Amino acid sequence: MRYYVVDAFTDQLFSGNPAGVCVMEDLLPDSVMQQIAAENCYSETAFLMPVEDSYLLRWFTPKFEIDLCGHATLAAAYVVFRFLAPKTEAVNFFTVSGKLCVTRHGSHLEMVFPKRTPTPVSITPELIDTLGITPVSLYGARDLCVMVSSEQEVVNYVPDYEKLRQLSEYLGITLTSQGTDCDFVSRFFCPSLGLEDPVTGSSHTSLVPLWCGKLGKTTLVAKQRSQRGGVLYCTLGKTDVTIAGQAALYLQGEIMIPPTQKGEQSHGTIAQ
């Protein structure tokens, strides 16, 4: 099986967020996709399969399947545009979150994702203790958005994953503030995996409507302040969020799948 590793939301290697991209000829069993993702040990591995003029797309962390991933979608689109269909300017992915469209504008790849508007969450002493920081405000959607007063607080934050795992109703914890050289910055922590995701496109489906409301703008430049770092160019629509970024190829090769594992049943659901 053809396999690529792409650094997303950057134009330079060893920055941005690396994602594995597996190009399937036939749909693999869920268990095999999960084993491959665990073996790869990236925050997400994308599994891509051509279907007529579109593609099926699924995303797996090393421990579980996820319903939406921005950087792995960007990486998958990069593979399509560079290797699978280099003459095309747009690609449609059918996923568990519905149809996602990515278009190419020079070196920038532009993704349209469903908007997830967060709602206010009450700040309690228990939440302050769990987070290990006093937020200006809290908002909840798929992730818990923790707004703090300065970019330096975002950069200096040290997560206590044992405590953050108490917030089990949220997939991730996003720390965010207004930026010094961009509209806003963030960092993203996944307690169930015990790690920080370097650049998280899906978290911006909530961060963008939040910051557009606060800044009175509909187009924003965001930076994720992880050690690797990344840049996202965002636009708010009525029902969606457009997120654009660049990508850089790190690796291409092959994954060897035992023939006995190819014929098992896959149980994933793809929305078309």
User: Annotated active-site positions, please?
Assistant: 44
Ordered alpha helix ranges (H), the chain:
30-40, 70-79, 125-131, 151-156, 161-164, 204-215, 259-262
The first and second tokens of residue 228, run together, are 């690797």
**Residue 196: closest CA among 211, 174, 170:** 174
215 sits in the region (left: phi over 0; alpha: psi -120 to 50; else beta) called alpha
Helices vs. strands in the chain: H and E counts, helices first: 7, 18
Cβ neighbours for 154, distance < 8 A, ≥ 6 positions apart: 148, 175, 176, 177, 185, 186, 187, 225
Dihedrals phi, psi of 111, to nearest 5 degrees = -110, 140
Q: How many Å apart are CA 123 and CA 156, to the nearest integer?
A: 21
Q: Residue 259: what residue type?
A: P
Cβ-in-10-Å burial (0-12, 13-18, 19+) of 151 comes to: buried
Q: How many Å apart are CA 147 and CA 164, to the nearest integer?
A: 16
Dihedrals phi, psi of 162, to nearest 5 degrees = -60, -40
